[in-house]
Amino acid sequence: MKKIVVLTGAGMSAESGISTFRDSGGLWEQFRVEDVASIEGYIRNPELVINFYNERRKQLLTVEPNRGHKLVAALEQFFDVTVVTQNVDDLHERAGSSHIIHLHGELMKATSTRSPNNPSQILTLSPDQLEIRVGEKAPDGSQLRPFIVWFGEAVPKIEDAVEAVMKADICIVIGTSMNVYPAAGLVQYVPQGSPIYLIDPAEVAWKSGRTYTHIQKGASAGMEQLFEQLTGEVK
């Protein structure tokens, strides 16, 4: 069975109503990245950061996977599919994808401030218990924090992602400029000769140097076109 690796970014979830960070009107215009998405910001004002992600979780519960998410999941009927996502939402999971590598953490999880990547410290939050509170402790006794990889922190899953991409027979990039590292370097590991498809409605100044096919549509419409092309079926 051929292996497909799907690399997804903020544009994948934008059609579901998830606020993007980098686009016009995005979250970066409301909050300074240094304040809510850096380890320094968390150390400086943990309450601000914890509350910011509490609100992101509440928003996540109000949205659903879009057709693009569902078609990525449906590819598993035909291919061995791994999703590598820069997104912290759980929309790929809810759409039915079964093998997902989260590069930047998971919004619906919390972890220890002292050892954020220790599996024994990672807790899954539930819809009826969404909020982390200042003073709430992880199993190791340190402050419970969002399980998010912030600027200034290592990306622990990047090696898993590289390993997956190196085995790709087909690579699909959806809704990400692929100009933010380390994720941007992943396409360099796609084997020569394996086709790369980029789904994005905008012109993309892609600096990878790799040949790719640009499907200039949004995540859902682009995946409809590519799904039919790859499988010969209309979903």
Q: How far apart are CA 69 and CA 12, in angstroms?
A: 7
Q: Given CA atoms 117, 119, 121, 124 in this order, what sign does their dihedral have? A: positive
Q: Kindly name the residue from 69, 92, 102, 104 that is annotated as catalytic.
A: 104
Q: Indicate if 19-62+109-148 has the same CATH topology as 1-17+65-104+154-235.
A: no
Q: Which residue has the tokens 């519960």?
A: 61
Mean pLDDT of 30-37: 82
Residue 25 has pLDDT above 70, yes or no: no
71-120 confidence digits (pLDDT tens): 999 999 999 999 999 999 999 999 999 999 999 999 999 999 999 999 99
Provide the CATH topology of domain 1-17+65-104+154-235: Rossmann fold (3.40.50)
- Give me the helices (H) in 37-122, please: 39-44, 46-60, 67-74, 91-95
The candidate with the shortest Cα–Cα distance to 85, out of 194, 164, 153, is 164
Tell me the pLDDT band of 1, cut-offs 50, 70 and 90: very high
Residues 6+ apart with CB under 8 A from 7: 84, 85, 86, 165, 171, 172, 173, 174, 176, 178, 183, 186, 187
Residues 6+ apart with CB under 8 A from 166: 189, 190, 191
Provide the CATH topology of domain 19-62+109-148: SIR2/SIRT2 'Small Domain' (3.30.1600)
Residue 24 has pLDDT above 50, yes or no: no
Confirm if 38 and 152 have CB atoms less than 8 A apart. yes
From residue 193, give the alpha-carbon distance in Å to each of 2, 167, 196.
14, 12, 9
pLDDT at 23: 47
Q: What is the mean pLDDT of the chain?
A: 91
Does the active-site annotation cover 104?
Answer: yes
Q: What are the sequence ranges of the domains in the chain?
A: 1-17+65-104+154-235, 19-62+109-148
